[in-house]
Amino acid sequence: MGDHRDRRTRPGFGAFGDGEAKDDWLELGRELTSRGMPAPRMIVADGAPGLISAIEEVWPRADRQRCAAHRIRNVQAKLPKSEHDRVRIAFWKARNEATGVKDGKLRLQVLIADMENAGYEAAAHCLADDLDALVVHLRYPLRHRHRWRSTNLLERSFGEVRRRTKVMGRFPGETSCLSLVWAVLDLFFSHASNGATFTDLDRQHLYRIKYPPAEPITVDEEVIAA
């Protein structure tokens, strides 16, 4: 699933897989490439090691954004329940108020230090792991950052697929199952009310990411441009 500059969010390709090992993801990535899909500018994914390794091999120049929703759930799993709300609020506040990548990373490092000082070393280590990938979305246009920081839209589409397929009983074969799954995904994204749109400023911002200027842009200039 991806956001395109033609203002549509749509699935790209679907296939059955035997697992989530690196080779399984490599097969999918190479199939997408062979079908003519250009290299994505940014990929949002969870922390599955096989998936990360495959992304880095197939699309080495793509930015990789670690799904923020998965990460905060992982952090909360290492905290006592009494701390869940406090840390969750601080986590999203740090991301929502960040002006850019450096600022976002600094704010999360403050939260990491806070958890360490409170004796929650495992939770702090979990948040610190792959921290750079957690703030990649802050390089991108301001109006798209909330959407591109997690895989939530894709996860919701899976819920719709499960709702439609659980009443089918048994499918006669893989093709019929995949056809229904694809149809549901296409319908879901076609009617998504939060589809991406790109302004001229957004396109200029994306162009600067692809072709960085000789002089670095300041944080203030980045926020104004976004």
Tell me the pLDDT tens digit for each residue of 32-83: 888 888 888 888 988 889 999 999 999 999 989 999 999 999 999 999 999 9
pLDDT at residue 85 in the model: 97
Does 181 map to a domain? yes
Mean pLDDT across the chain, nearest whole number?
Answer: 78
Pairwise CA distance, residues 130 & 45, whole Å: 12
Cβ pair 211, 23 in contact under 8 A:
no
- In the structure, what pLDDT confidence band is assigned to residue 12 with cuts at 50, 70 and 90? low
pLDDT at 9 over 50: no
State whether the Cα torsion 182-186-187-192 is positive or negative.
positive
Does 47 map to a domain? yes
Does 221 map to a domain? no
Cβ pair 131, 105 in contact under 8 A:
yes
Q: Please count the CA atoms within 13 angstroms of the CA of 64 that sit on its side-chain side.
A: 21
Does 46 map to a domain? yes
Pairwise CA distance, residues 94 & 107, whole Å: 5
pLDDT at residue 15 in the model: 59
- Low-confidence winner among 5-19, 104-118, 165-179 (lowest mean pLDDT): 5-19
Determine how β-strand 63-66 pairs with β-strand 42-45. Answer: parallel
**Domain carrying residue 15:** 2-66+151-190
Cut 0.95: pTM above it: no
Does 81 map to a domain? no
pLDDT at 188 over 90: no
Does 146 map to a domain? no
Does 216 map to a domain? no
Count of domains forming the chain: 1
Does 60 map to a domain? yes
Candidates 223, 226, 183; CA nearest to 204 is 226
